[in-house]
Structure 1
């Protein structure tokens, strides 16, 4: 027999219970803004250009632009468009850029756990070490925000064989790690269930801009086309569309202008969609439509 993860069963999207989002909406849309901090002179990190010997000042400084400038510009844009956001944050951000974290808290945005730093992967750790990583990140968020995070996205979306189990045991209600669906899906863990909320690997600026070298207008068009198609598809099934953003990429001025075009297009349809946060999707699924989710 071929090995299987055992976390969920195969159920095609055409064979599921029907439901609606708040206000009768059929499409839920959320922004996932990744606020990340990286070690200087060591560890992992996205690259603008192939990295040279450490310290790799070029790529470190390029990433740091996102926290110093890009995220602030994006915050201004979210305010202007009246868009909520899910802030997917390394816990190191509270020490490195506390003002930035304060500014998103003032907006009422939720914070999603995103490890300690994106300079490391939790998937290479022993189970006890991985549990400690989750505990440390969770404690930092809870202390700063006054409430424990509901959701988690692993740095580099890297999971060990027991990551969902450890998240459920740590009190997490949902994960963004799995990109296998356009609807929330219950996943099995040894501590009960955890909800998988769709987080995109297509409408995501890192695979698009860093990996595929898409231009700023291409990425904006991708968001618009994905939204328009999913809005049409949602007539048949309720759907979730996430948009994954990193301020060192789309916070660059020329990309920000194109992103504003795409998000303005979505906001022009706000009366037809549920413009929300990932945590609100999780709460609604648990409290209102629990039995309808596969």
Structure 2
């Protein structure tokens, strides 16, 4: 007779705590909903590795799919930045450090806007989860050091390429100087993660549904429907945030939303969010600012945010 274990394997990074039983607080200026744009700027090896596809994958070199993704760096990202400038919206720019070799002007444009730079691996043609501990630590340090050297920003946050982790990723992030991760999509509030040696790391909510890759590429959602989804999600979370402070991220990739017909619909969604910001209803911010705010709360109220 099969005997089932009483307890399933667990990560032990944080305890279960339902959203309806959390300490209350407010974001800056009394806002109840924090909103950020996760602007994913990525570079892919030609003729090798992983990448999102617009058509069936072909034997390498896969010119169709590589060229479609490269459109984001050459055209789409610049059109997106023009839109963000027009609406006065900051971003959390998730960058592959390979961009410094390929198109450094694009990273420089984000820095000039005052965007937060967030570590996103060296290339999105590679998975982080296949690395051993020494290799993974080296990747985290190499990206951190290069971003500081090239852009004058030491990244405080990280998103793994393809959200690919090893069992040690949170530990290594804390040990190499990162303060938060965007890899986990389990909550609508920041959650303090335990790491080895008594360290800690904030998990800032990052969307896997309000995200153009799984929705537009994976589920073949039309740009109009994606825009309606963003607006509906925002309006619902704004109502929910009356009961507790929440975080809403919107994940965008310029080779997808930077296509002209999609950009026109994205403009409608972002104008809706910007109007709410102008009315003082939301805190339009960056993931790093959210993590910093949580650090301050944890110092003031350690029992609530341990």
Aligning the two structures, in what range does the TM-score lie when normalised by the shorter sequence?
Answer: over 0.9
1:242 aligns with 2:249: yes
Equivalent of residue 156 in structure 2, options 136, 150, 159: 150
Match of 1:181 in 2: 187
Tell me which residue corresponds to 1:208: 215
Trace 1:182-201 onto structure 2 (pairs within 5 A).
182-191=188-197, 192-201=199-208
CA–CA separation in structure 2 for the residues paired with 1:275 and 1:132 = 33
d(CA) in 1 for partners of 2:204, 2:185: 8
Match of 2:4 in 1: none
Q: Is structure 2 residue 19 aligned with structure 1 residue 13? A: yes
Contact 1:115–1:137 under 8 Å retained in 2:
yes
Using the TM superposition, give the Cα deviation of residue 147 of structure 1 relative to its aligned residue in structure 2, in angstroms.
2.8
State the Cα distance separating 1:142 from its structure 2 match.
1.1
Structure 1: distance between partners of 2:137 and 2:32:
37
- Root-mean-square deviation over aligned CA pairs: 0.9
2:213 counterpart SS class: helix
Tell me what 1:169 maps to: 175
Give TM-score, length-normalised by structure 1: 0.98
Rounded Cα–Cα distance in structure 2 between residues aligned with 1:160 and 1:21? 32
Which of the numbers 123, 128, 135 marks the counterpart of 1:129? 135
The residue that corresponds to 1:224 in the other structure is 231
Across the two proteins, how many residue pairs are aligned to each other?
294
Equivalent residues of 1:19, 1:289 under 8 A apart:
no
TM-superposed CA distance for 1:289, in Å, is 4.7
Contact between 2:189 and 2:247, CA under 8 Å: does it hold in 1? yes
Q: Secondary structure at the residue paired with 1:263?
A: helix
- Alignment match, 1:82: 88
Secondary structure of the residue that 1:288 maps to in structure 2?
helix
Which 5+ residue runs of structure 1 have no aligned equivalent? none
Once the two structures are superposed, residues 127-153 of structure 1 have per-residue CA deviations (whole angstroms, 9 ceiling, x without a partner) of 111111111111111112223100000
| Alignment deviations for residues 134-185 of structure 1 (CA, whole Å, 9 cap, x no partner) | 1111111111222310000000000000000010000000000000000000
TM-score, normalised relative to structure 2: 0.95
Whole-Å Cα distance in 2 between the matches of residues 187 and 246 of structure 1?
27
Distance in 1 of aligned mates of 2:90 and 2:51 = 27
2:102 is aligned with 1:96: yes
1:165 and 1:86 map into 2 onto residues whose CA distance is: 23
Which residue is equivalent to 2:281? Answer: 272
